[in-house]
Amino acid sequence: MSKSRSSSLSAHAAALSSKSTANQSKFFKTLGEDIWKNKIEKINAELFVMTYGVIVQQLCQDLNNDYIKINENLFSMGYNIGVRLIEDFLARTALPRCPNMTMTSEVISKVAFKIFLNITPQIENWNTNRDSFSIILTENPLTEFVELPQDAMKQLWYSNIICGVLKGALEMVQLDCDVNFMTDVLRGDLTTEIKIKLNKILKDEIPLGED
């Protein structure tokens, strides 16, 4: 019993401290899939799309199609979810602090997106400082069956709630980031791309005792 426990223990530690990105990547992928499969209560994705669609529709109606304002509202809605959802994420995964944005991006795509939305987006477009990257949503569970009217296509970031969630969640782990949509297939673009740019690590807020 204790033998098998300690061997799985060192495997866990080894994967996390591994210098090989491929190993880490694989570990996160397995972790995300395992949590999704075994630990998560699920609901019909179509109900989710529909509900979100109704919320956006109501915002358009109330704010008289002022898409800039709608984007803002969707963003703060997401932010309010993100600052709370991060605790669920950390309690469930207990993953160590990421030493760099490369690992952060892996955790976001393979673990966070997997256990909350059941998708694993691609990470691309790193800048040379490696503090900015893009999340490419090849599938987006918020926009299934959605089509935008002409005027909305120019200004509305329909899924902006996701940016808000990411912003809120990252801030709670002391990463001050800008999170923005760059492109969206709903606007006629070829891809759906969210850009995350690290502004600064909020060093003063990192809990003492962690270093």
Partner 1 sequence: MGIEAILIINKSGGLIYHRSFTSPQVDPSNPTITSTTKHTLNSNDLLILASTLHSVFAISSQITPKALQLSQSNINYTIPYHPYVGVANPQTTPKNNMPTKYGSFKGDDYFKEPFHNWNKSGLKQLSTDQFTMYIYQTMTGLKFVAISSSVLPSGTGSGENNNNAGANTVNINGSQYNMGSQIADNLLRKVYCVYSDYVMKDPFYSLEMPIKSDLFDDRVKSLIDHLL
Partner 2 sequence: MPHQRNSSIQNPEALERQRQYELFQESLPKVNALVYQMLLNEIIPLSSHVENQLQTIPMEEFSEDQTESQLKDLSLEEKQVSNPSSSDQLIYKLSQLADEDENEFNNTLKRVRDIGIKLGTRLTNLLVFTNNVNLNFKEMDLLLIMKFICRDVWKQIFGKQIDNLKTNHRGTFYLIDYDYALIQDFCIETNTIPSQLNEEVITSKELKLVEPFLELPVGIIKGVLLSLGYPLEEVICLATFIDKPREKIRNGFPKGISFHVQITKPNQQQ
Q: Which residues bind partner 1 (CB under 8 A)?
A: 2, 5-6, 8-10, 12-13, 16, 38-41, 83-88, 90-92, 94-97, 172-173, 205, 207-211
In the complex, the smallest distance separating the C-beta of residue 193 from partner 2, rounded to whole angstroms, is 13
Residue 138's Cβ-count burial label (10 Å; 0-12, 13-18, 19+) is exposed
Please identify, using beta-carbon distances, which residue of 18 and 93 lies nearer to partner 2.
Answer: 93
Return the one option of partner 1, partner 2, none that residue 96 interacts with (CB less than 5 to 8 A, by type).
Answer: partner 1
Q: Which is nearer to partner 1, 38 or 64 (CB)?
A: 38
Cβ at position 181, least distance to partner 2 in Å: 8
With tokens 């949503």, the residue in question is 137
Smaller CB distance to partner 1: residue 42 or 129? Answer: 42
97 CB-near residues (< 8 Å, 6+ apart): 173, 210
Which residue in the set 81, 136, 201, 202 belongs to the binding site for partner 2 (CB under 8 A)? 81
Q: Which residues partner with 178 through β-bridges?
A: 197
Min CB(156)–partner 1 separation in Å: 26
**How far is 196 from 165, CA to CA, in rounded Å?**
12
Structure tokens that stand for 76 in this block: 């703060």
Structure tokens at 198: 């690290």
| Token reading at 148 | 């935008």
